[in-house]
Amino acid sequence: NAGVTQTPKFRILKIGQSMTLQCTQDMNHNYMYWYRQDPGMGLKLIYYSVGAGITDKGEVPNGYNVSRSTTEDFPLRLELAAPSQTSVYFCASSYQNGAQYFGPGTRLTVL
């Protein structure tokens, strides 16, 4: 049981480049989430999904897009990367009223 997996672990982007952060879970959770964590801070919700085909914005969605075509996968797309998007990105999943289980994170630097 792998839980929540994220790729890549690390990435450096140039300003204006785009990339997709991958997230997969094998726990058959219907809810999935993307957070970002800036240095010394707590987590802020970017987007979430309550099931395949259903997504919604969180607290800090600007500059990001998501899709959820399957229960297992919830990729996060960064378009036109900016230095302000330098952060650690966490994907998480849960049942509706359960604890969220997190992936190992992706450390992204935009230069």
User: Given the rule CB under 8 A, which residues bind other proteins?
Assistant: 31, 33, 41-45, 48, 50, 56, 58, 88, 90, 92, 94, 96-102, 104-105, 107
Q: Which helix (H) or strand (E) holds 66?
A: strand 64-66
Nearest approach in angstroms of CB 80 to other proteins is 26
Residue from 12, 18, 1 nearest 109 by CA: 12
Q: Which residue lies nearer to other proteins by CB, 46 or 78?
A: 46
Nearest approach in angstroms of CB 30 to other proteins is 9
Nearest approach in angstroms of CB 92 to other proteins is 8
> What CA–CA distance (Å, rounded) separates 39 from 37?
7
Is the distance from CB of 27 to CB of 92 less than 8 angstroms? no
